Chains A and B, each alone.
Chain A
């Protein structure tokens, strides 16, 4: 049995873990990171990055298909396209593998030692890693748990056979003719929309009264409209009950209590993600929990001295950029810097069609604070750049305090609005008032002008509406 010791041990090389390790390496901390799979975690391997690659391929295919119908207002005429999904997936895999080696290279560059294998706590300071070459024991002054999350399985439709999670959906070699998506959250809709664009007949089964239920109806309306345009059938208030005996259809119970049957080659279950809290010896260290998650304080410290936790294992929102920010902070704390979690917003994006961005508080949440609020909404129908991109659906909405005009939240829905999240996040972190946004020159012609106009609208003097 080999034994090494280090100052900082990071378990899991996802966005939280690898960022923590890179920053620790930059700060000169003797750091070891343990990863069973490839570096980059869910995000890079089976989440954010590959799904965006596939979504992009689907968008491109759908655009061309649309043109092939002969109705493109752009005047582009073409023959019906075909899609070789295997090629697209291989292209996606190429991107993932480039990023894998990118992360591995970054870790190496700053002197972080990577141990490949499955880590298991022996006690609060010691971890055993089963590697290909035997058991490696690592003693560390400080340990960061960054074990991430995994797809939640539905007991009625367990994974296996035609029932797949997002991971398998990103690696299909053929587009299924019929796809049933269980769970109308952002992952289900992103992938459901992508497969619909690639030609699958998609049915979304949602247990709640509407899809994207964590967002307000005004914000999701353009998405719901687009789902219908893409021919995606949405069953709300419906529950997946199981598979048909031939395993070629999903049995559902509808709102009225009627049983239905949705024929499908593949059944994609996207009903949420759960923290990975088994298999790495949590029972050996007995950390306090917050529900299923590991309880952390504002410095990502767990209930045990010297053990930190970052990322999805610590709770919602389970987003890569939150994990990265936590990982960076923890590395700096370990280096002796004074840090604590003081972020004002963690922007969130749905890469649906159209895209959806939220940062800060929704109008309802803002009202919940008790004070008067102002809301300014500017539609893309009045934005020149959106028109030229055939992307007039959607809007930018700004929520602010009525008394001092402090911006509390910003939401947008529309084509390509994911990139506006940068401006939204910055405005919130800097403590912008409506006047700050209204008073900033936004380059013309861009969709970003809608942000400025929304602020002007809240102030009562939007110019282009």
Chain B
């Protein structure tokens, strides 16, 4: 019998570390070759780590949410025959104190990993237990608080000294459970109340819910959080909202979709490909909009290729698949690429490459798009175009109100490098193109 150490493989070019987002096994599990052991996440892609051999899991080297360096040992397996850890090949680097199978997880944790968050009490009592279960939110509700302190309308019972203390501490005794005889509130109950804060009390028919659920921000959520904080703290946003009359565009789109039936492999067109093409055209006039601003180096990388990120909601959160080189795709190709990427993002199969490299971003919530939004720029880009909900609104044509299909664009720009004037010109150009969609197709 030998021991086999699995190290975190290189999961993408230039990636030095990855965040462990999921364990699919636990200590004691028997695994076969190619059984998926864990999932780690790099900048944007999630990568599954398969087992290269058959064996039994002895040790898991990281907790969910830990950032693990490439090459760090993450799993130890007991395998038939010799493992990859021989006495002479030496110990596992860093973690290699190799105390054997019984090593406590904490002791064997790779030093490169940040310290695990404080163990919850039940884990602390049984440190030798197997690795933590996947993402079980810590429930902070107290076990003895399931009932109201006393029947409705009944006065709390406490001695004058206890009452005085409660009054001075600002405690409403009606909220305090009394542990004394006949439900009398004792000093100890005040201590306990102060220690754990207010509890559930039922005064009216409506119960207060004081429970707090601690949810670890990990994986994609953490990435989103970091990204948003970065964007909002670094970039002074200017948001510009303009109304677009898309009646003509909708007529054209409907006509094209009808025509498509006769034709070959053309996707059903949404509004997005038209917007993408309009942006390509507008960017041709204002290339500074299509750029990445390296604010630390003080350099604006103005890109020739228009790589449009399409912000998409997936079950695990926001991802931004990228339509590369939109300037080289017509509306149908744009449409087909959007559909493909959206599907890949939703199913979680989008590659790292497909999820990075954008130079400008579109965000759309479709029917949920609202009247106006304040989109957050996808750092280090300098512009983001937000699509709001399309609806029929009355429009004054000079003599009467006529129903028109109207839609707002809410767009944000990095005011450090894009002036308000330039932002307005850019959106007005898009407006002109979308309102007279034929212009999109002529050069």
Contact = CB atoms under 8 A, between A and B. Distances in A.
B300 interface: no
B205 interface: no
Interface residues of B, number: 13
B403 interface: no
A433 B157 CA distance: 11
Given A342-B163, A431-B157, A431-B159, A404 B168 contact: no
B158 interface: yes
B182 A338 contact: no
Contacts of B163: 342
A339 B163 CA distance: 10
Contacts of A340: 167
Nearest to B160: A429
A404 B157 CA distance: 12
Contacts of B168: 337-338
Interface in B155-195: 157-160, 163, 167-168, 170, 180-184
Given A342-B163, A406-B157, A433 B182 contact: yes
A342 B159 contact: no
A404 B182 CA distance: 5
B181 A435 contact: yes
Nearest to A337: B168
A337 B167 CA distance: 9
| Most chain B C-beta atoms within 10 Å of own C-beta, residue among A337, A401, A430, A435 | A430
Interface residues of A, number: 15
A415 B130 CA distance: 76
A232 B180 CA distance: 50
Nearest to B170: A338
A210 interface: no
Interface string A202-226: 0000000000000000000000000
Nearest to A400: B182
A429 B159 CA distance: 6
Interface in A337-356: 337-340, 342
Contacts of A342: 160, 163, 167
A431 to B, nearest CB: 4
Nearest to B157: A431
A337 B164 CA distance: 10
B167 A431 contact: no
B183 to A, nearest CB: 7
Contacts, number: 30
Contacts of A429: 159-160
Q: Which of A340, A406, A436 has the most CB of B within 10 A?
A: A406
Nearest to A435: B181
Contacts of B180: 431
Residue in A342, A404, A405, A431 whose Cβ sees the most chain B Cβ within 10 Å: A431
Contact of B181 (A337, A338, A339, A404): A404
A338 B164 CA distance: 9
Contacts of B158: 431
Given A338-B167, A338-B168, A338-B170, A405 B159 contact: no
Interface in A308-352: 337-340, 342
Given A429-B159, A429-B160, A431-B157, A339 B167 contact: yes
A339 B182 CA distance: 25
A337 B169 CA distance: 11
A421 to B, nearest CB: 16
A271 B293 CA distance: 93
A433 B181 contact: yes
Interface in A421-435: 429-431, 433, 435
Contacts of B183: 404
A339 B168 CA distance: 8
Given A429-B159, A431-B158, A405 B182 contact: yes
Interface in B385-420: none
Contacts of A338: 167-168, 170
A431 B182 contact: yes
A404 B150 CA distance: 13
Contacts of B181: 404, 433, 435-436
Contacts of A404: 181-183
Nearest to B183: A404
Contacts of A406: 157, 182
Interface string A395-432: 00000010011100000000000000000000001110
Nearest to A339: B167
Nearest to B167: A338
Contacts of A431: 157-159, 180, 182, 184
A435 B158 CA distance: 16
B1 to A, nearest CB: 65
A425 to B, nearest CB: 10
A216 to B, nearest CB: 23
Contacts of A339: 167
Contacts of A337: 168
A291 B9 CA distance: 85
Contacts of A435: 181
Nearest to A436: B181
B159 A430 contact: yes
Contacts of B157: 406, 431
A428 to B, nearest CB: 10
A275 B33 CA distance: 94
From A337, A340, A342, name the one whose CB has the most chain B CB atoms within 10 angstroms: A342
A416 B168 CA distance: 38
A433 B182 CA distance: 7
Nearest to B155: A344
Contacts of B184: 431
A429 B164 CA distance: 12
A434 to B, nearest CB: 10
Q: What are the 4 A-B residue pairs with the smallest beta carbon separation, nearest first?
A: A404-B182, A431-B157, A406-B182, A431-B184
Given A405-B182, A433-B181, 4 more contacts: A406-B182, A430-B160, A435-B181, A436-B181
Interface of A: 337-340, 342, 401, 404-406, 429-431, 433, 435-436
Interface of B: 157-160, 163, 167-168, 170, 180-184
25 contacts: A337-B168, A338-B167, A338-B168, A338-B170, A339-B167, A340-B167, A342-B160, A342-B163, A342-B167, A401-B182, A404-B181, A404-B182, A404-B183, A405-B182, A429-B159, A429-B160, A430-B160, A431-B157, A431-B158, A431-B159, A431-B182, A431-B184, A433-B181, A433-B182, A435-B181
